[in-house]
Amino acid sequence: MTEFFGSVRGALSVYCSSDEGQLTDARFVLARFGEDQDKVVAAFFHEHSDARFSIVPLFAYGSPPRKELCRKQSLTAALKSAKIEPNGTVEQAWKEACLLHKVPLNAFRAAPGWKAQANSREVTP
């Protein structure tokens, strides 16, 4: 099984209200834009089963989503604002996730950052 959350980076502070006295430990989980929050949380707790802490999922932009942590709904929602450069590894990762979760590729191509490049063999109407 792939380990999604095996590395730790430190030195973060948590600010909360005074009535959060029960909160003794919190972990930040770095997810990627397009991933499903429920799948991210489940994967984290599967890998770190000593759940004596609260977790805060953070969603970062830039890296493509990991297809195993996506759902059709999370990809469809993300594609409404995703910036995807064409013809690269990032585009390929988005396409693989879309194909796996049966998100239509026309939804992928409708993403604002996707730029269809003219192909010399392609006939334009």
Q: pLDDT per residue over 19-76, tens digit each?
A: 656 666 778 889 999 999 999 999 998 988 876 778 889 999 888 999 999 999 999 9
Distance CA 107, CA 114 (A): 11
Look at the pTM and tell me if it is higher than 0.85: no
pLDDT above 70: percentage of residues in the chain: 70
**Residue 19 in domain:** no
Q: How far is CA 22 from the centre of its chain?
A: 30
Instruction: Decide if pLDDT at 120 tops 50.
Output: no
**Residue 118 in domain:** no
**Residue 119 in domain:** no
**Residue 2 in domain:** no
**Residue 71 in domain:** yes
Q: DSSP string covering 77-117, please?
A: HHHTT----SSSHHHHHHHHHHHHTT--HHHHHTSTT--PP
Number of domains in the chain: 1
The residue segments making up the domain with residue 44 are: 26-109
**Residue 101 in domain:** yes
**Residue 21 in domain:** no
**Residue 54 in domain:** yes
| Three-class SS state of 68 | helix
Confidence of residue 108 (pLDDT cuts 50, 70, 90): low
